[in-house]
Structure 1
Amino acid sequence: MSFYPEIEAFKTEMFKVSDIHTLYVEQAGNPNGIPVVFVHGGPGGGINEDHRRFFDPKKFRIVLFDQRGAGKSTPAAELRENSTWDLVSDLEKIREHLNIKKWVVFGGSWGSTLALTYAISHPEKVQHLILRGIFLCRPSEIHWFYQHGASEIYPDVWESYYNHIPAEERGDFVKAYYKRLTHENADVRLAAAKVWSKWEAATSKLFVDVQAIDDFDDPTYALQFARIECHYFINNAFFKTNNWILENIAKIKHIPCDIVQGRYDVVCPARSAWDLHRAWPEANLKIIQDAGHAAAEPGIKAALVAAADAL
């Protein structure tokens, strides 16, 4: 099962959510269809035209938005007033602004983190969850990808990430990159952003996608992605505990949920999806055996489209 055909948004707007931040919000598909909100990854990843194509445009009212500092939202790469709880609040503001009573929440990678956090905070507003590449934002997950773990599978790509940081700072790569990504010198910020972003891009698919790596040659995109990600990760995603989502999962067990996970996902290993499923056995878990992390991989894409169609 492939994507639905390309479609244009029927409405786009810039929606002010704070004194600092204005979000890009768009709608596509059927204005009277089942409301579904697409929650992008990163944090800082932004949306693109293909994200509309997971859903039947005749049956869904498709809502997409760029989170604070990401994509077309302004100001770009801004870290002030940018936390998980600000984004949860933004989702509610968008839902109310669009006069939607309840909606389907669809998110992958960091989008799964935010979708779960939003659902736990506002369970009465969520009709169904469709999640991909589960990321619970626990310290163990950050350590695996940014300190040691994924480095053993992609040692060739890791080398650039590793060598960008002096030996005396390699005990905590997230801290070292945060120092550079928030540096007063723009050249220092950009150099770190490109290395950080390209590490993730190189590991996101079962087969390395050169185009995905090259996309981060764009300075704005690299800075949005790297600065916002690192800002969230050095702050434990602003959670009060290291396992906040699983500790609060009982609040959403009544909500139907589909989980799609790539077996060979290096960015968000299947352990997190399995831990979520063990805590929430009512959720339907589908592991795609020949896939990595990216939503656009054939098996993952087909399973996500099928999950939406089943509604």
Structure 2
Amino acid sequence: MNEQWIEQNGKSLYVKSEGKGDPTLFLHGGPGGSLDYFLPEMEPLTNSMHVIFYDQKGCGKSLADPSGRYSIRDEVRDLEALRDAMDLEKITLFGESWGSILALSYAVAYPEHVSGLILTAAIGLSSEDHLAFKNALLQKLGFRQKLKFGWYSILSGITDSSRQLERLLDPFYVHSQESLVRKKDISYNREAQKQISRDIESTYDLLPVIDRIQGLPILIAQGSHDILTPAYMEAQILPHLPNADLVEVRDSGHWTVLEKPVEMRGLVEMFMNRSAHFQIFKQGGVGS
């Protein structure tokens, strides 16, 4: 894949891209993760479309902002600067987990530059949905795991206990524990993770401006065993997004790209082609 660093707004963002056609730009989760999460699972898409991956500010190979500040608004501005620097008139955004929040936030800010949205491991439209995600995750933990979670959370203010938290929570992000064997050890920007998470909890609310994207095609591909289930998406999110289609990714947890890469690539291709086959998958779900 072609790789480059794009200098915009005094920041250096690492970008990998390849392929031809309408551009699809992938937004990694975290917050604080990296584009490595999508590779190699999504790389085969470059054979049929123009695919762009990038590391968000201070993540992966992208340099950190000297200010040391991270927020949803800053990430939206960086994404717009990246689109402009790459001379892309319109983009389809693929947002995973925190990336789904970024995709939606960008879309309401710049709907004229968005062709469509593909959201997976979606968190929702407001801080209330984010809180529902956190509460649902905690409910999955047993008594001893909750004690460990609380202890590691306390320690995080004193020392870096992030690895312990990852090892504790990873099994609850997948449907099959065997999937964790394929999980990459991604280096996170913990400061970005903390600051953006706090920003989501305190300011994230797209409901007052959600009408700005009512005309956009949107696909929500939610794992059958995700923390926020397809049923949650149908009850709490779709009423605000009547233009969105919901697909259940069977036998998958939160990390659909990790557990069901073939099915996710197929959904992306069908969404981009607006294929009639997409309606079949929409009605019956995908996966074994």
- In structure 2, relative to structure 1, the CA distance for the partners of 1:95 and 1:109 (3 Å cut) is same
1:233 is the counterpart of 2:212: no
- Give 1:172's aligned residue: none
Question: Would you say the 8 A contact 1:264–1:293 is kept in 2?
Answer: yes
Name the aligned partner's letter for residue 245 of structure 1.
L
Question: Would you say the 8 A contact 2:126–2:207 is kept in 1?
Answer: no
Segments of structure 1 that go 5 or more residues without pairing to the other structure are 1-8, 167-175
1:16 is the counterpart of 2:4: no
Q: What is the CA distance between 1:207 and its match in structure 2?
A: 2.2
Name the aligned partner's letter for residue 115 of structure 2.
Q
Q: CA RMSD in A?
A: 2.7
1:61 is the counterpart of 2:21: no
- Give 1:6's aligned residue: none
Name the aligned partner's letter for residue 140 of structure 2.
I
SS in 2 for 1:296: helix
Q: Distance in 1 between matches of 2:239 and 2:253?
A: 21
Deviating more after overlay: 272-281 vs 123-132: 272-281
- Give 2:185's aligned residue: 215
1:154 is the counterpart of 2:118: no
Q: 2:152 aligns with which of 157, 164, 167?
A: 164
1:253 is the counterpart of 2:244: no
SS in 1 for 2:40: helix
Q: Distance in 1 between matches of 2:124 and 2:70?
A: 18
Q: 1:194 aligns with which of 133, 158, 163?
A: 163
Q: What is the CA distance between 1:298 and its match in structure 2?
A: 4.5
- In structure 2, relative to structure 1, the CA distance for the partners of 1:195 and 1:271 (3 Å cut) is farther
- In structure 2, relative to structure 1, the CA distance for the partners of 1:54 and 1:139 (3 Å cut) is farther
SS in 2 for 1:96: helix
Question: Would you say the 8 A contact 1:47–1:64 is kept in 2?
Answer: yes
1:73 is the counterpart of 2:73: no
Question: Would you say the 8 A contact 1:106–1:129 is kept in 2?
Answer: yes
Q: 1:132 aligns with which of 110, 115, 120?
A: 120
SS in 1 for 2:47: coil
Q: TM-score, normalised by structure 1?
A: 0.75
Q: 2:223 aligns with which of 243, 258, 262?
A: 262
Q: Can you list the C-alpha shifts for 1:173-214, whole angstroms capped at 9, x where unaligned?
A: xxx74xx1xx5xxxx1x2x22233334423211123444788
Q: Can you list the C-alpha shifts for 1:75-102, whole angstroms capped at 9, x where unaligned?
A: 39x8823211111111111111111111
1:116 is the counterpart of 2:116: no
- Give 1:170's aligned residue: none
Q: Can you list the C-alpha shifts for 1:213-233, whole angstroms capped at 9, x where unaligned?
A: 8836xxxx14x1x43222222
- In structure 2, relative to structure 1, the CA distance for the partners of 1:272 and 1:134 (3 Å cut) is farther
Q: Distance in 2 between matches of 1:309 and 1:143?
A: 32
Q: Distance in 2 between matches of 1:214 and 1:59?
A: 25
Q: 1:295 aligns with which of 250, 253, 256?
A: 256
- In structure 2, relative to structure 1, the CA distance for the partners of 1:92 and 1:39 (3 Å cut) is same
SS in 1 for 2:118: strand
Q: TM-score, normalised by structure 2?
A: 0.80
Q: Distance in 1 between matches of 2:68 and 2:202?
A: 13
- Identity, % of aligned positions: 23
Q: What is the CA distance between 1:52 and its match in structure 2?
A: 3.7
- Give 1:173's aligned residue: none
1:308 is the counterpart of 2:238: no
- In structure 2, relative to structure 1, the CA distance for the partners of 1:280 and 1:117 (3 Å cut) is same
Q: Distance in 1 between matches of 2:138 and 2:253?
A: 15
Q: Distance in 1 between matches of 2:266 and 2:107?
A: 22
- Give 2:247's aligned residue: 286
Q: Distance in 1 between matches of 2:202 and 2:127?
A: 12
Name the aligned partner's letter for residue 256 of structure 2.
A
Q: What is the CA distance between 1:271 and its match in structure 2?
A: 5.6
- In structure 2, relative to structure 1, the CA distance for the partners of 1:279 and 1:46 (3 Å cut) is same
Segments of structure 2 that go 5 or more residues without pairing to the other structure are 274-288
Q: Distance in 1 between matches of 2:152 and 2:256?
A: 29
Question: Would you say the 8 A contact 2:34–2:59 is kept in 1?
Answer: yes
- In structure 2, relative to structure 1, the CA distance for the partners of 1:210 and 1:289 (3 Å cut) is closer
Question: Would you say the 8 A contact 1:132–1:260 is kept in 2?
Answer: yes
Name the aligned partner's letter for residue 218 of structure 2.
C
